[in-house]
Structure 1
């Protein structure tokens, strides 16, 4: 864990709003020169605080209007390894995230589909045929709000 001061937290808050800002703009917003902001961002990056950046696509505009969170309970933990399930489920292009969780289900998947019939096809033909899948529970995403996180 890295020790963060108020300036580091301010930089992270600014970057959460827009990760494409240049160090000069970040520095201006938090009261630092461009070189000072760049050094701090570099230190945060080297410490692993900043994860590799990825492109955040608007899936709805690309034709994927339905997002489903699917809880998956493995039927036979002893017969199917977790690695076999994870390897098989990550090969499905519509599966965006695979989370191994503690609770009622063993895994929580985030799946995108064009519509509900498309999700049903993915569920029947791809998910339910995976090794070890037992019970599933689907929750359709109605809306989503991104929050800044615990940087207070």
Structure 2
């Protein structure tokens, strides 16, 4: 498997700043031809590094609400349903999970009444506690600068090194750290396919 190089990383940075940037503009910056840039982007998509090209809407421009950072402590047995409820809530723009199994959410609460919004959104028996921080601003600026890329084995979760293999199974491309994981994954995939046929 070919590792990502500096040109791949530069293409990713350029696309992160503007996903609609023409291949010709990117090609000029990274010193490639537009078809070569297109091929690299297609390969990055096939590898699963680029999942999709999306529209990043600044919801604060479209609706009102008080921006808050909300930390929610949840009963362990209710964590996943509460997380899903928050992700589905119109006011929540970002949700994060901490190592302590707390949920952090960036939300724009209509009217600014967080307790009322929470009682309408969540079942109070599911939440142990919550903390609200009013925000004066928020910026989301993801970067890949200084990042060491490492693909994850689809079977065992280990890092895929240059000894790894890529395999197309069921129409999708998967990365494996070794041929043994590839074989194990294919066998399990085939068993599941047979069971559902």
TM-score range, shorter chain: 0.7 to 0.9
Aligned to 1:60, the other structure's residue is in SS state: helix
Matched ranges for 1:96-111 at <5 A: 96-103=93-100, 106-111=102-107
- Higher relative contact order (CA closer than 8 Å, sequence separation 6+): 1
Q: What's the CA shift string for 1:17-69, capped at 9, x where partnerless?
A: 11111222211221110100000111111111113232211222212343222
* Structure 1: runs of 5 or more not aligned: none
Conserved? CA contact 1:24–1:34, under 8 Å:
yes
Aligned residues: 146
Aligned to 2:145, the other structure's residue is in SS state: coil
Matched ranges for 1:100-139 at <5 A: 100-103=97-100, 106-117=102-113, 119-127=114-122, 129-139=123-133
Per the normalisation by structure 1, the TM-score is: 0.79
Structure-2 change in CA distance of 1:86 and 1:147 (3 Å): closer
Conserved? CA contact 1:73–1:107, under 8 Å:
yes
- Alignment RMSD: 2.5
Task: Point out 4+ residue stretches in structure 1 off by more than 4 angstroms.
Answer: none
Using the TM superposition, name which of 54-63 and 81-90 deviates more.
81-90
